[in-house]
Structure 1
């Protein structure tokens, strides 16, 4: 479906909920806040409906965003979900909206393997380095003028998902958009620090422990990392505080694939996959019920412990010939 058709879905709606995936990140929150500002400028009734608690480091983007904690009271015309095309990552919000015959629009830049649904619309651009890039285009298509609030949110989105413009999918587009946004009154250095300068002495000690416990396999081409709730509590860390650590291990020249299993509750685990220059991360994630980028993907699984999960990952690695 052409993008103009999806834009028309947005323009026809009056009461709109915005959301992003659980365990939200800077791209999801930044693109959401930018779209919120644009829709407000169109005199829409719009709210952010979180599916879980937003990590503190992204709160600066939500200072002027109205939040709805009881979406059933709103009875929206449209739910827009950003930075994922998997409705289950936004449940029960997604499921409830569908059951109430509310239209849902996904705006995302991840591989889309979903089945069609009469109430579901999608704007998916795999070539985009962030969801913020797509929202930038959506805002332009809606003829909403840029302002400082929208520019700061979009710049945050781009900065986060490209890791400060290091991962731009061999395209100049992220830099082009950032250059336009930087012309507004935004604190680019402040945004960088808000997103990335959250290391503490406790996190450094945690990293030291993780380095010593890392498991290297297949001539150091694979590295496996695990972290328990007890470890997070020991070092006074939240889940979002450690999500970025796995990326550091892909800087080892021999590493082709890294996995990071983080315990989220007694029986649920968030697993992040990274691959350096290959699509192994996505291949493993999709087999385990997840998704994401070709080189940066993940999934959520229930299990009795790390051993079961690591065996599942190793099975998939053997199938793609990464592990003997």
Structure 2
């Protein structure tokens, strides 16, 4: 699996690692683990993302290795990079946000490591395993392949990535291999109680109250098979909550019995709407996201869509309803 990529990792010095917009824990944990692995090989590594690290995941990066993209600060660094590694984001440079435009124009070898079933023709080489529960599984395998040592900090990052991307080991791609990796990460120093507390028990009061507001606004369609809800920028501001505090909001509708698909639409900047789709596994939602230039997994996907909140909601809801009727 790693035959073609290993020489590139071993024979170059200057690396940039990046991931998709609105980075989740799998993207962040994988970035931090890969960066640590490369640094043990005396490589110069910089992690650059378009969006800030969500509050719930900042504990993974106590030394602030993850940088938010700044054209002024990072243009020269990107120009001089020998290798660019895209993690947890297939489908094209647009998935990366502003940093993607800069990286697309850069020289150097471009790699992708991912577990999403999206195209990888935008890079030179890719390692994709759609059966992996998380990109972190692939990074763990790479560490072992390269004879690396999993430090407690790396174990923490990879374990948190796997826990979140598997929905605490409940999503369909959770496999015996997933649990075997998790066991090795625990043995290497991952602290499950601390990880759970940092991710799920450090919400601001405003975020908790906003969650209640959103729960109260949930509507259903298709005889209760679809749950949907929206969030405006004004409501977000009223509660004093940042978008980086919204982890888990996309899945709230899945708590309702009989719901097969949840649609969460949130106003974004630039006249766009962020759509998040979740499924119980009986309906594939990644095709819906791909129709709007997004992507993801059959059970969890998303996209940024041009339009008003009401118009986007109506259009996507229509597509989901049609999809449910064909996947009974």
Matched, 1:81 2:80: no
Please give the TM-score of this superposition, normalised by the length of structure 1: 0.91
Call closer, same or farther: CA 1:229–1:91 in 2, change over 3 Å: closer
In 2, distance between residues paired with 1:91 and 1:169? 27
Call closer, same or farther: CA 1:201–1:57 in 2, change over 3 Å: closer
- Give how far 1:243 is off: 3.6
Find the counterpart in structure 1 of residue 44 from structure 2: 45
In 1, distance between residues paired with 2:240 and 2:102? 35
Call closer, same or farther: CA 1:221–1:56 in 2, change over 3 Å: same
Contact 1:287/1:316, CA 8 A, preserved across alignment: no
Find the counterpart in structure 2 of residue 59 from structure 1: 58
1:280 to 259, 284, 291: 284
- Give how far 1:236 is off: 1.5
In 2, distance between residues paired with 1:31 and 1:170? 17
Spell out, residue by residue over 1:20-66, the C-alpha distance to the aligned partner (whole angstroms, 9 max, x if none).
Answer: 11111111100110111111101101111121222222222222354
Matched, 1:268 2:267: no
Matched, 1:92 2:98: yes
Contact 1:112/1:124, CA 8 A, preserved across alignment: no
Find the counterpart in structure 2 of residue 258 from structure 1: 262
Contact 1:257/1:280, CA 8 A, preserved across alignment: no
What secondary structure does 1:182 align onto?
Answer: helix
Contact 1:31/1:153, CA 8 A, preserved across alignment: yes
Find the counterpart in structure 2 of residue 101 from structure 1: 107
Find the counterpart in structure 2 of residue 159 from structure 1: 163
Between 1:123-132 and 1:52-61, the stretch displaced more is: 52-61
Between 1:225-234 and 1:104-113, the stretch displaced more is: 104-113
Between 1:216-225 and 1:142-151, the stretch displaced more is: 142-151
In 2, distance between residues paired with 1:247 and 1:316? 19
Unaligned ranges ≥5, structure 2: none
In 1, distance between residues paired with 2:87 and 2:323? 31
Matched, 1:314 2:320: no
Contact 1:281/1:297, CA 8 A, preserved across alignment: yes
- Give how far 1:179 is off: 0.6
In 2, distance between residues paired with 1:89 and 1:310? 21
Call closer, same or farther: CA 1:140–1:105 in 2, change over 3 Å: same
Between 1:226-235 and 1:307-316, the stretch displaced more is: 307-316
Aligned residues: 319
